Structure 1
Amino acid sequence: MSLSDHPLWRKPQHHLDSGHASDHVHWLELFYDLVHVVSIFVLGNYLSHHLSVEGFAIFAMLFVVVWFAWFDLSLFNSLYVSTDIRHRLVMAAQILTVMLMTSSIHSIDHGGWAFFAVGYALNRFIIAYLYRRARKVGDSEESLPCEMSRNYGIASAIFAVSAFLPQPYGYILFGIGMLVIWALFVMPKIGIIRHDRLVPRLGHMAERFALLLLIVVGEGFFKLIITLSEYGVSNVSPDVFVNYVIGGFSLLVMCWIYFDFAGNGKPRSTDPKTMMQWTLAHLLLMLSAVCVGVALSAEVKVGFWDHYPFKYAVIGCLGLAGYLYALLLIQNVIEERTAHRFATAKVRMVGIALSFVALAIVAFVPALVGNFVWGTALISQAVIPMRNAYIAISASENETNTEVEDAG
């Protein structure tokens, strides 16, 4: 093996040009995800302490921004096979930028903004460098990495300037920067999305989405456990423990229905519209999952006959509705699975409708009733497809056995 063929020294190559492409996630990407574990947890804590329309809007915008920091690097790593020493050091620098952004979230509205914006500007600058490096050392078609590097460079400059402007001008300019980079991505004829080589390794990106979903839903366990420990496990009544179990089981079911019906699923085609729906539906799915995780932390704050805290109930019910809708969108664009025959759009709409029923009644009924309706909305998404599958498969088996007996 020559030095240029060894993973530590092999220059980055587009996966269509490389003989070393694999759909499996590299350990370095998993390590990169570790800092996002903390980011998502901190974002959830921010939402917990700012349960208002303004607080949710700030949380949602920050989540979208941080999520794209994760997605853009994941997209690069899916497009280009890059594992050499320089790439590993660049990934380390990316981790430092996310650390800076994450540590700024708690004080984002009083002093932390400048640090967040500088961290994001550096994050975009590093992405620009990665594409510039790919253009220089390995891509047989230079226009894609050249344009990507240019666009991220422009965005980096805008974000850097926004860090030093007085508010609200800094926020406005940062928002303009996000719009610019998205526009340069999706605009007809001039957008990056027109490039045929923009298509990533589909199996790799599907696995990246699935792993991050596990992280996002798993944050709900953190919040449940920490909330109960802060209250004092010896100081709560038995019904609180039942609610605690309900919260943990609900998080399991959320993963259950994702991996049965959408997890690791590849898009049916690589046309731009399908790829965008696949990506943005995962963004909505994960944003909704964080909302549900935060809402479930209130399970250990109430007994059976108390009213569920209304602000938590709002984000929990709307979060579940958003989660199920996003799941339906993903199902509609990935390769057909046998399970899709039984988890139809009608099934998803049942869950969404029950989520809104729970929201409508939660302020007037005990938490026990609200939990029952909300839990039915979620658990029905696993139970109804299983029931339909059992009936269909049993009928098919009986029909086969009857044919065999008739033939005998």
Structure 2
Amino acid sequence: MNLSDQALWRKPQHYLDSNSNSDHVHWLELFYDLVHVVSIFVLGNYLSHHLGFNGFFVFAALFIVVWLAWFDLSLFNSLYVSTDIHHRYIMSAQIVTVMLMSSSITTIDGDGWAYFAMGYAINRLIIANLYRRARFVSLDKEDPFPCEMSRNFGIGAAIFGVSAFLPKPYGYLLFTSGVILMICLFTLPKLGTMRYERSIPRIGHMAERFALLLLIVAGEGFFKLVITLSDVGIDTVSADVFVNYVIGAAAIFVMCWMYFDFVGDGKPKNTHQKTLIIWALAHLLLMLSAVCIGVALSAEVKVGFWDNYPYKYAVIGCLGLSAYLFSLLMIQHVIEQRQAQRSAITKIRWFGIIMAGVTLLFVPYIPSILGNLLWGIALLSQVIVPVTSAYRSFARKTTE
């Protein structure tokens, strides 16, 4: 047996060239996701303390940037089967960059910005090195894909590094330009690296990566509920607050139920560039809205039945639910149809979206118990109607 047959010494190979590739997620990737548990939690805390328009804009921008850092490394690990000792060292360095970015989010408006930008620059530089390494060990030495990816990430690293030292707002503008440039260099038709066939990842692997991160993002909502009740004082709240507490936890559970029954682990209908882009962006919006819902639900333990639900929390909760349902709708349209989707028709999704909007209109004028009822109808209809429809269909076929 050759040393290269051992996972610890096997050099990275594109999955099209490898006999040892699998759609299942490696433990290294799961460990990398653990760091994003912290970053998403810190981002949620930032939104909780900055519920105005400007605060939401900063939160959304940071979430997108952090999500892209997760996606880019996940994409590499999906394209290249890489488990050797050098890759493990590199992954540990990537984890440190995410830790650095996460630690600077709370002071992103001040001195934390320079640390965040530098952490992101190093993160990009490490991915550039990953593709450079893959290029030199590739069976196809003339393959231009890893070369262009390494070059593009190197350019991005330089831009983000410079932005860390520029005065505001010029640093922000340069950083934003760098993010847009990186996206264009990957997705532009006929120019971006997506034009190469070898840019298509292991679809099953990426579907599993999306599903696992969604669990993490939704799970942050439980953290928010538990910590908020702990801060308020579990021995000081009334019985109706405990009911709201349960409602919040149930809502998060239903969100996961909706995702995994209807789209979770779903594979795109085809590997066309437009399909893959919609699939990825819809998951980005889905996860961003899930964080918003989690933050909004944390206010459940701050009000009784007859109090008005805090309006700023209600706004991100209702808009977050609308965006979540719209994202599910987008994903449903681009993945292979499954049995559950036959009952989850488009009208149900739009009913939930509209109902969330209606809730937002009435929530300032009604007690929280009625606001929760309206919002709950928007959410629960997404599982109750499909399940009821599927049961009736099954019963009818059994009778026949």
Superposition TM-score, scaled by structure 1 size: 0.97
CA offset at residue 397 of structure 1? 1.3
Which stretch has the larger CA shift, 100-109 or 189-198? 189-198
| CA distance in structure 2 between the partners assigned to 1:47 and 1:205 by the alignment | 28
| CA distance in structure 2 between the partners assigned to 1:391 and 1:45 by the alignment | 43
Residue deviations 1:73-109 (CA, integer Å, cap 9, x gap): 0000000000000000000000000000000000000
Residue deviations 1:212-238 (CA, integer Å, cap 9, x gap): 000000000000000001111110000
> Equivalent residue for 1:306?
307
Matches within 5 A, 1:69-218: 69-140=69-140, 142-218=143-219
| CA distance in structure 1 between the partners assigned to 2:117 and 2:25 by the alignment | 29
Count the aligned residue pairs.
399
Residue deviations 1:37-91 (CA, integer Å, cap 9, x gap): 0000000000000000000000000000000000000000000000000000000
| CA distance in structure 2 between the partners assigned to 1:211 and 1:122 by the alignment | 25
CA offset at residue 398 of structure 1? 1.1
- For the pair 1:354 / 2:355, whether they are aligned, the reply is yes
| CA distance in structure 2 between the partners assigned to 1:255 and 1:263 by the alignment | 9
CA offset at residue 16 of structure 1? 0.4
Q: Kindly indicate whether the alpha-carbon contact (under 8 Å) linking 1:184 and 1:190 is maintained by their aligned counterparts in 2.
A: yes
Q: Kindly indicate whether the alpha-carbon contact (under 8 Å) linking 1:352 and 1:377 is maintained by their aligned counterparts in 2.
A: yes
Matches within 5 A, 1:238-253: 238-253=239-254
Matches within 5 A, 1:33-48: 33-48=33-48
> Equivalent residue for 2:5?
5
Residue deviations 1:282-319 (CA, integer Å, cap 9, x gap): 00000000000000000000000000000000000000
Partner of 2:344, secondary structure, is coil
| CA distance in structure 2 between the partners assigned to 1:260 and 1:197 by the alignment | 31
Q: After TM superposition, what 4+ stretches of structure 1 lie above 4 angstroms from structure 2?
A: none
| CA distance in structure 1 between the partners assigned to 2:124 and 2:229 by the alignment | 39
> Equivalent residue for 1:406?
none
> Equivalent residue for 1:369?
370
CA offset at residue 139 of structure 1? 4.7
> Equivalent residue for 2:14?
14
Q: Which amino acid aligns with 2:14?
A: H
Partner of 1:234, secondary structure, is coil
| CA distance in structure 1 between the partners assigned to 2:26 and 2:189 by the alignment | 33
Partner of 2:146, secondary structure, is helix
| CA distance in structure 1 between the partners assigned to 2:202 and 2:345 by the alignment | 28
Q: Kindly indicate whether the alpha-carbon contact (under 8 Å) linking 1:304 and 1:366 is maintained by their aligned counterparts in 2.
A: yes
> Equivalent residue for 1:320?
321
| CA distance in structure 2 between the partners assigned to 1:321 and 1:334 by the alignment | 20
> Equivalent residue for 1:257?
258
Point out where structure 1 has 5 or more consecutive residues left out of the alignment. Answer: 400-408
| CA distance in structure 2 between the partners assigned to 1:47 and 1:139 by the alignment | 47
| CA distance in structure 1 between the partners assigned to 2:395 and 2:351 by the alignment | 24
Residue deviations 1:329-370 (CA, integer Å, cap 9, x gap): 111111110111100110100110110011010000000000
| CA distance in structure 1 between the partners assigned to 2:139 and 2:166 by the alignment | 38
| CA distance in structure 2 between the partners assigned to 1:139 and 1:47 by the alignment | 47
| CA distance in structure 2 between the partners assigned to 1:28 and 1:220 by the alignment | 25
- For the pair 1:345 / 2:349, whether they are aligned, the reply is no
> Equivalent residue for 1:385?
386
| CA distance in structure 1 between the partners assigned to 2:336 and 2:342 by the alignment | 12
Residue deviations 1:143-193 (CA, integer Å, cap 9, x gap): 000000000000000000000000000000000001111111112211111
Q: Which amino acid aligns with 1:187?
A: L
> Equivalent residue for 2:271?
270
CA offset at residue 391 of structure 1? 1.2
Q: Kindly indicate whether the alpha-carbon contact (under 8 Å) linking 1:11 and 1:138 is maintained by their aligned counterparts in 2.
A: no
> Equivalent residue for 2:57?
57
Q: Kindly indicate whether the alpha-carbon contact (under 8 Å) linking 1:304 and 1:367 is maintained by their aligned counterparts in 2.
A: yes
| CA distance in structure 1 between the partners assigned to 2:147 and 2:215 by the alignment | 34
Residue deviations 1:250-306 (CA, integer Å, cap 9, x gap): 000000000000001111100100000000000000000000000000000000000
CA offset at residue 23 of structure 1? 0.4
Identical columns (%): 66
Partner of 1:7, secondary structure, is coil
Which stretch has the larger CA shift, 380-389 or 137-146? 137-146
- The RMSD of aligned alpha carbons is 0.6
